[in-house]
Amino acid sequence: MPTPSLPQPRAREHGLQGHVSAVCVVHAIIPNPGETPDVTAIDKRPREGRLEVAAQGLVLDTQVDRRYHGGEEQALYAYADEDADWWAGELDREVAPGLFGENLRISGVEVSGAEIGERWRVGEGPDAVVLEVTMPRTPCMTFQKRMGLRGWIKRFTHAGRLGTYLRVVVPGTIGAGDPVTVISRPGHGVRVNDVYPARIDALRALLDAEAAGVVELASKMRREATRRLAAHSRAQQSS
């Protein structure tokens, strides 16, 4: 079956604008003992100048474990300055750009609270990039080891400040200081931090929105929503 075309964004801009604080790419491939593979590219650090963005993400970046990271539906990972500042207070340490493995540190625009399928224009002129919010970040053991904090996966998840993966709709170039403008929202109202940890009503609304042609979900997001709803249904039937 052919892949349906992406829904077209609404023409009206939402007037919400922030900026890119930092663009981060892999600094070094570092050991990841006890995991498969046993190395990781989570060590991201800010890069100066303008960087090319293609369908798979930043051209100068890489991912080691392509089963769970990267690909067109997870081409970029964005995190908000505001959420990083909150964590800095909680952890009593600096949360520098790239510490969480993010490619983009964004200020002034909701990131964890973005609507699934929302689109951003980053930059100005013919090289501006258009990105689409696809799904929340799912924290893993590699992330926990990087932070050096026991129970970090659960703590990060339940704080509701997950950041978001992004699909590249229009490639171009990107750099620190670029404006970030919300140019469209599908209107279903389901936000990144509504779907992980799972809210059954949010997952159902998301699948209903896709069935109605309002949004095209990332395949991983669709599978996860379908799986969780099926598990919820079985639990109800057995209770």
* pLDDT higher than 70, residue 68: no
- Residue 166's nearest CA partner among 102, 99, 73, 103 is 73
**Mean pLDDT (whole number) for 85-99:** 97
CA distances from 29 to 25, 141, 144, 189 (A): 11, 16, 17, 38
- Please give the CATH number for the structural domain made up of 17-189: 2.40.33.20
Report the relative pairing of strands 39-40 and 172-174 from DSSP bridges.
unpaired
- Please state the length of the chain: 239
* pLDDT higher than 50, residue 117: yes
Q: Residue 212 has what pLDDT?
A: 97
For residues 90, 91, 92, 93, the Cα torsion angle rounded to the nearest 10 degrees is -130
The 3-state DSSP class for residue 134 equals strand
Mean per-residue pLDDT of the chain: 90
**pLDDT band at 65; cut points 50, 70, 90:** low
* pLDDT higher than 70, residue 144: yes
Tell the burial category of 39 from Cβ atoms under 10 Å away from its Cβ (0-12, 13-18, 19+): middle
pTM listed for this prediction = 0.89
The full set of domain ranges for the chain reads 17-189
**Mean pLDDT (whole number) for 33-39:** 83
* pLDDT higher than 50, residue 4: no
